[in-house]
Amino acid sequence: SLPTPLRHFFSLFPVYTHAPVPSPYTARPINAPTLWIHPPRNESPELEDLLSSDVECLKWQAYLALRDLSGIYVRWDITEDGAIDGRLPNLQVPTKDGEPGGELLAAHLIPEWADGKAGAGLGDLEGYADEAARDESRAWVSLMEGNVHAALALSYPPPSFLAALITPFPAKHRSLEAMLNPPPAPLTGISSLLPPYGTHLDRNNVMLQYRDAIASLSERLGTDKWFLGSETPTALDALVFAYLHCILHSKDSAVRIEVARRVNLVAWELRVQGQIRSAF
């Protein structure tokens, strides 16, 4: 036991126990899968536009829809700094033990979750007609995420200096140097006294590569229902849709017109868009 003087001193500071106070920030129970995305172009509820304006988020929206998964909700009230690794999209799914907040999945874990919901995976061919088509799809993915993405990135106006200065958690984007192949030359030449720094970005060269990519894409699709002659949609179809949709809504006419003038790409994007919208 404590000495009497010490007990008397502690009695001056009694410990009280209070009932827990409910917090409005407590995670709400989640009953359906919810995809966290960047906001759509029209956030008004009357317009019912649920397709993200960000090509990466839209790619995963299209992927889930083209896997015949429906009843998926979307939310765009969470900024990137609240996502895993500071990158959207994230997929919030219910857990088997009924934990209120559910489980949050990064984008690269979405295919595994989709396989579980669909009941079976896509197999070694990943949904493509044969091995040659599967291998060819890698080249198209590289083309879309390289030259096409570079042109799309250039079509967006750069953030103002003030906005970049006051933003506490700036968005993480791939640099243009990583998209282009070959990478752009540095600002300083070989004979310069200064060490190489910065990049000399030739917009005309980027647009030339972009035009060639879109022309090749249109020719490869032809009149097929899905790219590379697949019987069912694949991950490549989801990726191509995301880029075509963002390009067709770009404010840069030089970028937009390259797709708008190709009838088969426009018709394909419109048909796939209806299927994707119905899933959310």
Containing H/E element for 90? strand 90-93
Domains and CATH numbers, the chain: 1-121 (3.40.30.10), 127-279 (1.20.1050.10)
Q: Minimal CA–CA distance to 34: which of 103, 121, 87?
A: 103
The string of pLDDT tens digits covering residues 163-204 is 555 555 555 566 666 566 666 666 665 555 555 555 656 788
- Between CA 190 and CA 166 the distance in angstroms is 37
- Between CA 161 and CA 14 the distance in angstroms is 55
- Which neighbouring-strand residues pair with 92? 34, 104
The pLDDT, as a whole number, for residue 186 is 64
What percent of the chain shows pLDDT beyond 90?
Answer: 50
The string of pLDDT tens digits covering residues 143-168 is 999 989 989 988 876 655 565 555 55
The pLDDT, as a whole number, for residue 184 is 63
CB distance 126 to 79 below 8 Å: no
Cite the DSSP H helix spans in 76-222. 110-118, 131-143, 149-155, 161-166, 176-179, 203-221
Q: Please tell me whether residue 10 adopts helix, strand or coil conformation.
A: helix
What percent of the chain shows pLDDT beyond 70?
Answer: 80
Q: What is the dihedral of CA 142, 148, 153, 156, to 10 degrees?
A: -160
- Between CA 154 and CA 249 the distance in angstroms is 14
- Between CA 226 and CA 220 the distance in angstroms is 10
Q: Which residues contact 118 (CB under 8 A, 6 or more apart)?
A: 67, 68, 69
Question: What is the average per-residue pLDDT within 111-122?
Answer: 83
Q: Tokens for 165, please give them.
A: 């200065």
Judging by beta carbons within 10 Å of its beta carbon (0-12, 13-18, 19+), is residue 260 exposed, middle or buried?
middle
- Between CA 276 and CA 280 the distance in angstroms is 7
The pLDDT, as a whole number, for residue 278 is 87
Mean pLDDT, the chain, integer: 84
The string of pLDDT tens digits covering residues 85-109 is 889 999 999 987 767 778 999 999 9
Judging by beta carbons within 10 Å of its beta carbon (0-12, 13-18, 19+), is residue 241 exposed, middle or buried?
buried
The pLDDT, as a whole number, for residue 11 is 86
- Between CA 262 and CA 180 the distance in angstroms is 24
CA atoms within 13 A on the CB side of 186: 10
Other C-beta atoms closer than 10 Å to the C-beta of 71 total 8
Confidence band, pLDDT 50/70/90 cuts, at residue 231: very high
The pLDDT, as a whole number, for residue 113 is 93
Cite the DSSP H helix spans in 105-172. 110-118, 131-143, 149-155, 161-166
CB distance 50 to 90 below 8 Å: no
Containing H/E element for 201? none
